[in-house]
Structure 1
Amino acid sequence: MFFCKKKKKTEPLSHQLHEIKGKLKKSLRNPCQLKIEHVSEKDQMIVGQIRQTTKMLNSNNVTRTKAYLDFYLRYPEIHWAFLGHLVSRNGGWNMTDLKGDLLSRLMSEKKQEEFFEFLERGNWLIFQDAFPQFLLYEESLRQGRSLFYLLPCLDISRFMEVIWNDFWLRRDSYILAMAQVVNEQSYLEARMIQNPFYKEKVLHTLEFVLQDLLSFNQILFPSGGEKTVLTGMTIHQFGSLHERIVLGRKLYQLLFKRHKEILGWCLSHVHSGSRKDYWPHIFNDVNEGVPGPLQIRRLKNCRLIKGSPKLFSPLLEHVWPNMRHRPAESGDWFDDPDVVVYLKKIDEVIDGEITGDYCETLQNLELAVLAKKAVFI
């Protein structure tokens, strides 16, 4: 696995990260992993129950998004669970966009299905890797002892076994969260981003390029009471592992900078997949428009033009059925202890102002739909 080497090698690591790096090196020298048939019957039952619970909660974007938040509320020291909840909310909104007022007019039904499969597969893969770790942590707390030696039996990277054991001793929520950002994005890299099928069908298609040019890949964090405030960030280089990890670190800082307000919003707005969840003045989960091509603009300065119908943003359950997934591809991404540089604490000033950019995105996308005949001749 390649990681960006642009950081100066002379930058010092903390004592804790030096220790972690040493243990990661040791894990590479001793790659033998514990197998399920070599553990006790009691441990096999724990692994089996974790797999069963994970499968049940991983039915669709709505169930997994709720599961992340429910876990975070029980164990707020596991910061990534809250970050995972917010990013998964955004994943659901992206899924329903494919059947909403704008993107559905730029894509054929086949292309919509290919994009949905891409989004759903990634969302599913991350959950089936991350949530068993959470459940094993929960069981460890219940038993009062570390059970992280069972992570290999759940096909979790040896990188995370080292990290969880360190967390069990030090309770460093930041390092655990950053390690999970690194782990989940690295886990996706070979299975999704470098997968020839998704490269051809999604990542290299005109529609994906168009979304990138229009900045329609923003991660939004709603907060506030009666009037929802949006913060967040945009990623353009989705195909870069380094950029996705850096984005994850920035999103984490932004999220916990506004933690109380964002959590309050999440608790009062159940995730449905519809963008109506955060902007009901612009979106509706009932289609108010008329069938056929979009004829006139409806948006100006992030407001509906008087008399215009709201943008259709459906509930996820109404437009996408549960998908049957093939088993996750095997293999451990971890092969470079230098990845610990991503775990360093870096104080960055993250503004997070995104409302203006997001409004511009919607308006540009609407213009693209109106110009569809000219763009796709």
Structure 2
Amino acid sequence: MNKASSESGLSFYYGNEKSLISLIKEKTQLHNRNNITRTEAYYHFYKNHSEVHWALLAHMVSRNAGYQMTDLKGEFLTRLLNDEQRFPIYWALETANSLIFQDVYPQLLLYEERKRARRSLFHLLPGLETSAFMKPIWEHFWHSQESRILTMALIINEQNFIDDRVVHNNNHAKLAGIRVTRFNDLASRIETGKHLYRQLFHERLQPCILRFADQQPQIA
């Protein structure tokens, strides 16, 4: 959405609502500087709102992307792959993670404000350029606190969000050469997200995962 259409959309909201939307967008831009700031923002949010399981999933996926991005610039892969081979992979990781953060972090901040203000705010989601698919999901979550349903919805929404923008972007055809099983397959990526979620919140694994997240700094 371009700036003109975004400003036109804001005309439907009251002054304080416009201010809140602007503040959320500013905070999102601030934390979307790089993969480290994104990863830290997800975990900080999860620590304050642990009912939103997706934030921990996003934190761990973002961590993993950081390790891969570091490897792509490291000593060994620079010997094995030339710049032309490494750049598309690095670009895909950075762009996909940045786009997902740009889309979902405003939703998280609006939920946080909804808790603080104790009044309905999800009607502001269109002003944050959020898919109409997510508004009833957030409303349902607010009343039910069913973490799994919200997580599944966000996995599906975010994978669809990046599908055309990154995975099937004609300017990024070289991504097809990455050795990731069925990366171009939307359904496969969604199933991978669901599988990771089940692992992260397994009752025996989660304490170890949280200790790791607390103790190990994000490197990229």
- Is the Cα contact below 8 Å between 1:146 and 1:168 reproduced in 2? no
What's 1:251 paired with? 196
Cα RMSD after superposing both structures:
1.3
SS in 1 for 2:218: coil
Residue 56 (1) aligns with residue 27 (2): no
Structure richer in strand, relative to its length: 1
Q: Which residue of 2 aligns with 1:116?
A: 90
Deviation at 1:108, TM superposition (A): 1.5
Query: 1:299-318 alignment to 2 at 5 Å?
Result: none
> Any stretches of 5+ residues in structure 1 without a counterpart?
1-33, 213-235, 274-377
* Unmatched 5+ stretches in structure 2: 1-7
Please name the residue that 1:242 is paired with.
187
Q: Which has the higher contact order (CA 8 A, sep 6+)?
A: 2
Q: Kindly indicate whether residue 87 of structure 2 is the aligned counterpart of residue 142 of structure 1.
A: no
State yes or no: 1:44 paired with 2:18.
Answer: yes
CA contact (8 A) 2:46 2:56 kept: yes
Q: Residues 16-95 of structure 1 correspond to what in structure 2 (within 5 A)?
A: 35-95=9-69
Determine the C-alpha separation between the residues in 2 that align with 1:78 and 1:91: 21
The offset of 1:194, in angstroms, is 1.5
Q: 2:167–2:175: 8 Å Cα contact kept in structure 1? A: no
TM-fit CA distance, 1:197: 1.0
Q: Deviations over 1:16-70 (max 9, x none)?
A: xxxxxxxxxxxxxxxxxx9211110110000000000000000000010000000
Question: Quick one: distance in 1 between partners of 2:174 and 2:193?
Answer: 25
Relative to structure 2, which stretch is displaced further, 130-139 or 94-103?
94-103
1:228-282 CA-partner distances (Å, limit 9, x unpaired): xxxxxxxx11111111111111110000111111001110111113xxxxxxxxx
| Residue 267 in structure 1 maps to residue 214 in structure 2 | yes
Q: 2:78 aligns with which of 104, 111, 122?
A: 104
Choose 1 or 2 for highest CA Rg: 1
Classify the secondary structure of the residue corresponding to 2:74.
coil
Give me the whole-angstrom Cα distance separating, in 2, the residues matched to 1:259 and 1:35.
41
3-state SS of the aligned residue for 1:135?
helix
Tell me which protein shows more helix as a share of its residues.
2
Q: By how many angstroms is 1:202 displaced? A: 2.1
Give the aligned length.
211
- Aligned AA (1:259): Q
Identity of aligned residues (%): 40
Of 166, 177, 182, the residue aligned with 2:140 is: 166
Alignment of 1:99-248 (within 5 A): 99-198=73-172, 200-203=173-176, 205=177, 208=178, 211-212=179-180, 236-248=181-193
1:27: which partner in 2? none
Q: How far off its partner does 1:119 sit? A: 1.2
